[in-house]
Amino acid sequence: MTIKQLKKQYKDEWILGQVLEENEMREPKKVKVITHSKDREDVYNALLKVRPGLHVATFYTGEIPKNGYAVAFWVYGKRDKI
């Protein structure tokens, strides 16, 4: 599923997905949804159960926070050395 499809199907939700394809900037291009929820904690709890070495990413499909808010991202999974 593409990121555009994810945003349309799971509007305003947190997504945990297995990365199947990346673009040249190493950003996820296609993913297989592992779980999704309106509650971020549900996705983070599922992340703890992902088998080691699986290349995964988390997404939020809602609006980008307004000016003055901070956002943190955590990447977990096997990555090639740069």
For residue 55, tell me if it sits in a domain.
Answer: yes
Distance CA 59, CA 41 (A): 13
User: What's the rounded mean pLDDT across residues 19-37?
Assistant: 94
For residue 69, tell me if it sits in a domain.
Answer: no
Per-residue confidence (pLDDT) for residue 82, from 0 to 100: 39
User: What's the rounded mean pLDDT across residues 1-29?
Assistant: 93
In order of 17, 29, 54, 66, the CA distances from 42 in angstroms are: 13, 23, 19, 24
Give the E-state strand segments of the chain in sequence order. Answer: 14-22, 28-37, 56-60
Percent of the chain with pLDDT over 90: 62
For residue 80, tell me if it sits in a domain.
Answer: no
Work out how many domains the chain is built from and give that number: 1
Q: How confident is the model at residue 63 (pLDDT cuts 50, 70, 90)?
A: confident
Per-residue confidence (pLDDT) for residue 44, from 0 to 100: 92
What is the helix (H) or strand (E) element at residue 51, kind and residue range? Answer: none
Does the structure show a pLDDT above 60 at 48? yes
In order of 35, 63, 68, 70, the CA distances from 17 in angstroms are: 7, 19, 28, 23
